[in-house]
C-alpha cells in the first residue's frame, strides 16, 4: 500500500527588515515583493515609517515591514523613526538584519540593533548587502565577526539589486515560519493606501533630484485624490500634492528656476504612479513652508507604528 503524501502545511508570518540608514532595506523589500512599495534614494533616512510588503507563495504568505534606518535622532521626527524601528522587532516572527559588506567592525548602531534583537529573542537572518564592493576574504572575516555576536538562523551575503538572491532569502524565511493563515488577499502586495503610495512616490523623486541640504526637511501630503473617467472613457486619478519644507530658501530650490525643478519632480512622480497604479494620473504639486513640522505632534504621529 502506497503511503499517502502529506500536503505541505501553509505557513505565514511577519518579517521585519532592520538596519542602519542607507544599507539597502527598501531596495531589498522591493526586490522580494516584486513591486515598488518603498521609496528608494541614495540618501539616508529615505524610509520614515514602517511600510509593509506582502509576498504570496505556494505554501506561505510573508508580510514584510521595512523600517526607518537606525541613526542618532536630532528631532522629534527622528526619535519617532528610531522608536518605530525598534518597536517593530517586538511584533515580528523573523528579523532580517541588514548590514553592509564593506563594514570592518560592528559599529555602535549595529551593536544596539543586535542588543534589541537579543532582548526580543527573535529568530534573525543576517543579510550582508553590497557584496560586489568587497573581496571574499573581507566578507568571510565579517561573517565570522557577526556570528560571534549572535546565533543567526542564517547568514546570506547578497546584492539587493540582483534578482538571483530573492528565492534564497524567501526560502530561508519560510523555513523559520510557523503554520498559519493568509492575513491578506493574494492579490495584495502592500497595506499602504494609494494616497500613501502617491506621497511616497513624490517624496522619493524629490530626494533623488534635490540638493543634499533640502530633502530631509520635506514632508509630502496628498491634499486631494479623486478618481474619474476622461472624455475617452479612460480611468484617471486627479491628485493634488503639497510639498512642505522648512525654509523659504528651500522653497526656492524645490520650485527651481521658472518652476523647472518642481516640474521635474512632478513629471517623474506621475510616470511612476501611472506604472504602479495602472491608470492615468493628473498630478498637481505645490510647495509651502512649514517651519516646525519636524516637531509638530500632529505630523510626527503619522510616522508612528500603527
pLDDT at 185: 74
194, 195, 201, 206: CA torsion to nearest 10: 170
pLDDT at 110 over 80: yes
pTM for this structure? 0.61
Rounded distance, CA 255 to CA 249, Å?
A: 10
What pLDDT is stored for residue 29 in this prediction?
85
Cβ distance 186 to 62 under 8 Å? no
- pLDDT tens, residue by residue, 158-181: 998 888 999 999 999 999 999 998
* 3-state SS, residue 19: strand
Q: What is the separation of C-alpha 43 from the centre of its chain, rounded to a whole number of angstroms?
A: 13
Average pLDDT over residues 199-205: 86
**Could you give the CA distance from residue 79 to residue 75 in angstroms, rounded to a whole number?**
6
Number of DSSP helices (H) and strands (E) in the chain, helices first: 9, 10
| pLDDT tens profile 73-86 | 444 545 555 565 55
In this predicted structure, the answer to whether residue 47 has a pLDDT above a threshold of 50 is no
Amino acid at each position: 500500500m502506497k503511503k499517502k503524501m502529506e500536503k505541505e502545511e501553509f505557513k505565514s508570518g511577519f518579517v521585519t527588515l532592520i538596519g542602519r540608514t542607507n544599507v539597502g532595506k527598501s531596495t531589498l523589500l522591493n526586490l522580494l515583493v516584486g513591486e515598488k512599495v518603498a521609496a528608494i534614494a541614495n540618501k539616508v533616512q529615505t524610509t520614515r515609517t514602517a511600510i509593509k510588503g506582502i509576498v504570496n507563495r505556494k505554501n506561505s504568505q510573508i508580510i514584510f515591514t521595512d523600517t526607518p534606518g537606525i541613526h542618532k535622532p536630532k528631532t522629534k521626527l527622528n526619535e519617532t523613526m528610531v522608536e518605530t524601528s525598534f518597536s517593530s522587532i517586538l511584533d515580528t516572527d523573523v528579523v532580517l538584519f541588514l548590514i553592509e559588506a564593506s563594514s570592518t567592525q560592528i559599529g555602535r548602531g549595529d551593536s544596539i540593533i543586535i542588543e534589541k534583537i537579543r532582548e526580543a529573542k527573535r529568530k534573525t537572518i543576517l543579510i550582508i548587502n553590497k557584496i560586489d564592493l568587497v573581496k571574499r576574504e573581507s566578507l568571510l572575516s565579517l561573517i565570522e565577526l557577526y556570528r560571534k555576536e549572535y546565533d543567526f538562523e542564517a547568514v546570506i551575503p547578497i546584492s539587493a539589486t540582483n534578482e538571483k538572491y530573492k528565492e534564497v532569502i524567501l526560502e530561508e524565511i519560510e523555513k523559520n515560519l510557523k503554520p498559519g493563515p493568509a492575513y491578506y488577499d493574494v492579490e495584495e502586495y502592500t497595506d499602504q493606501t494609494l494616497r500613501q503610495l502617491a506621497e511616497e512616490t513624490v517624496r522619493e523623486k524629490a530626494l533623488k533630484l534635490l540638493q543634499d541640504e533640502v530633502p530631509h526637511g520635506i514632508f509630502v501630503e496628498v491634499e486631494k485624490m479623486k478618481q474619474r473617467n476622461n472624455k475617452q472613457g479612460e480611468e484617471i486619478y486627479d491628485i493634488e500634492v503639497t510639498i512642505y519644507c522648512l525654509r523659504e530658501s528651500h522653497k526656492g530650490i524645490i520650485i527651481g528656476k521658472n518652476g523647472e525643478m518642481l516640474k521635474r519632480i512632478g513629471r517623474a512622480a506621475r510616470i511612476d504612479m501611472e506604472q504602479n497604479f495602472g491608470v492615468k494620473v493628473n498630478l498637481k504639486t505645490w510647495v509651502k513652508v512649514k517651519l516646525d513640522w519636524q516637531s509638530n505632534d500632529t505630523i510626527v504621529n503619522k510616522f508612528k507604528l500603527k
